[in-house]
Amino acid sequence: MVTLQIVDHKNYPRNSLLLSLDEGEKHTLEAALFHQADYVIIDEKLGRNLAKCLGLNVIGTLGILLKAKQQNKILSFVDCVKGMQKRG
């Protein structure tokens, strides 16, 4: 079973590999490293690649939705994806 933990932004230790990322991805990876997260949720290719280089397990939004469907947490994977596409 996958659980999700949301953490507040803190001044996590900086990693020079993360300088090329936008602020959101940078903070996500810093928090994941600091908290020794089992997974990190990132959709952008550069962020995913850097996360893997840092030894983090990566899952994207679609992966989360797929797991939610497999665990009967959502009724329709397709409807969720269409809803996300509508909202941009």
pLDDT of 7:
65
Q: Which helix (H) or strand (E) holds 40?
A: strand 40-41
pLDDT digits (tens, 9 = 90+) for 48-86: 999 999 999 999 999 999 999 999 999 999 999 999 999
pTM beyond 0.75: the answer is no
Q: In this structure, are residues 41 and 20 in contact, taking their beta carbons and an 8 Å threshold?
A: no
Helices (H) and strands (E) in the chain, counts: 4, 2
- Mean pLDDT (the chain, rounded): 86
Residue 5 has pLDDT above 70, yes or no: no
Backbone angles phi, psi at 41, to 5 degrees: -95, 110
Residue 19 has pLDDT above 80, yes or no: no
pLDDT of 73:
94
